[in-house]
């Protein structure tokens, strides 16, 4: 018997697999296919104060070993999320859910987090300061220590929920931003969001995406995400959620060895809607293969050799 349970910022997860925001909506479509309670949790779609239709199409492009997206935070707005989506989630998901919050100003982040603080279904607030697909918000805060600190400090004052800040890889040194967030009261960090990229259409000689650029995700970004989790683990003392190209139980173990307490699975859900339950089902067998009895024993385990 192996133990897959972990503790993320004071909340127990039966396993470390969390479906990532941006690929899982509010869970309803996936709940028609399988019991979502097998998940550790899921992070619902990035939510803004006002409804957003997102960017104009085309906003998805294929890439070798991944994909580009420039969806642009399409969502119904915080009022409808609270009045309609959260009650639906409560009907099919009996565990705490992660609320992904996006904004275009500090005041917007504060208003959304304050509204979510009283919602019993919400376990963690995941503040996204790293979306590369909108203009004037998101990544504008996450690419500077001052901006990241400002948002974290303001949100910390209005929420009693565990606060997880989602970091951008599109920076010179992600460890500096991580330290800034920790210093202003973040309980944990999610990393990484997508890498900025683009594709060109050889026939039209124009960008494939209407937004010109988009966020690269999928297996291609896994080594980058792994490196950044490894670096940030050595810099901060708060739990990390590893994100980026995870598509197998072995990827989960590798990310946890780098320093992640839990992981999020994103693009793999678009390849197969059963990606998360398949990874969870395979996890005990792969743990046994590598002689791992308790996942908690391997968190940050790859760093031990440096102290030998």
Instruction: Enumerate domains of the chain plus CATH numbers.
Output: 6-50+73-197+217-307 (3.20.20.70)
Beta-sheet strands, E only, within the chain: 6-8, 11-13, 17-19, 41-42, 60-63, 66-69, 97-101, 122-128, 163-166, 188-191, 195-197, 200-201, 206-207, 214-217, 240-243, 262-265
CA distances to 48, 50, 111, 205, 234 from 79, rounded to whole Å, are 10, 8, 11, 42, 39
Smallest Cα–Cα separation from 267: which of 205, 217, 226? 217
**Whether pLDDT at 107 is above 50:** yes
Q: How far apart are CA 57 and CA 77, in angstroms?
A: 20
pLDDT reported for residue 131 = 60
Smallest Cα–Cα separation from 161: which of 237, 100, 242, 81? 100
- Of the pLDDT bands very low, low, confident and very high (cuts 50, 70, 90), residue 298 is very high
DSSP codes, 186-231: -SEEEE--PEEE--EETTTTEESSTTS-EEEESGGGHHHHHHHHHH
What's the whole-model pTM score? 0.94
DSSP codes, 136-175: SSTHHHHTSHHHHHHHHHHHHTT--SPEEEEPPS-SS-HH
Active site residue 131: yes
> What are the pLDDT digits (tens) for 18-66?
999 989 999 999 999 999 999 999 999 999 999 998 888 998 898 888 9
> What are the pLDDT digits (tens) for 215-259?
999 999 999 999 999 999 999 999 999 999 999 999 999 999 999
Task: Provide, rounded to the nearest whole percent, the portion of the chain with pLDDT above 90.
Answer: 84
First to last CA, the chain: 30
Catalytic residue among 38, 63, 113, 131: 131
* Structure-token pair, residue 259: 């320093």
Q: How many CA atoms lie within 13 A of 165 on its CB side?
A: 36
Angle at 195 between CA 105 and CA 132, to 5 degrees: 25
Strand arrangement of the beta sheet that strand 97-101 belongs to: 41-42, 17-19, 262-265, 240-243, 188-191, 163-166, 122-128, 97-101
């Amino acid at each position: 018997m192996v133990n897959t349970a972990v503790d993320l910022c004071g909340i127990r997860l039966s396993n470390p697999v969390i479906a990532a925001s941006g690929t899982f909506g509010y869970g309803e479509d996936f709940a028609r296919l399988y019991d979502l309670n097998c998940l550790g949790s899921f992070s619902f779609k990035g939510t803004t104060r006002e409804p957003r239709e997102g960017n104009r199409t085309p906003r998805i492009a294929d890439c070798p070993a991944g994909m580009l997206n420039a969806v642009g935070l399409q969502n119904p707005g915080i009022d409808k999320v609270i009045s309609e989506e959260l009650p639906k989630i409560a009907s099919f998901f009996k565990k705490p859910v992660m609320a992904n919050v996006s904004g275009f100003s500090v005041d917007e982040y504060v208003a959304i987090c304050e509204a979510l603080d009283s919602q019993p279904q919400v376990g963690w607030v995941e503040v996204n300061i790293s979306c590369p697909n909108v203009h004037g918000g998101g990544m504008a805060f996450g690419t500077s220590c001052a901006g990241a600190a400002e948002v974290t400090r303001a949100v910390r004052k209005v929420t009693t929920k565990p606060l997880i800040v989602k970091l951008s890889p599109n920076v010179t040194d992600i460890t500096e931003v991580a330290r800034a967030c920790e210093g202003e009261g973040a309980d944990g960090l999610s990393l990484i969001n997508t890498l900025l990229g683009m594709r060109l259409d050889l026939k039209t000689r124009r960008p494939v995406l209407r937004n010109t650029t988009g966020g690269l995700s999928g297996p291609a970004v896994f080594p980058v995400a792994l490196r950044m989790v490894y670096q940030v683990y050595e810099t901060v003392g708060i739990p990390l959620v590893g994100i980026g190209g995870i598509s197998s139980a072995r990827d989960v173990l590798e990310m946890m060895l780098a320093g992640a307490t839990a992981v999020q699975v994103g693009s793999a859900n678009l390849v197969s809607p059963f990606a998360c339950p398949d990874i969870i089902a395979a996890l005990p067998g792969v743990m046994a293969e590598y002689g791992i009895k308790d996942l908690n024993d391997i968190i940050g385990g790859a760093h031990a050799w440096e102290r030998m």
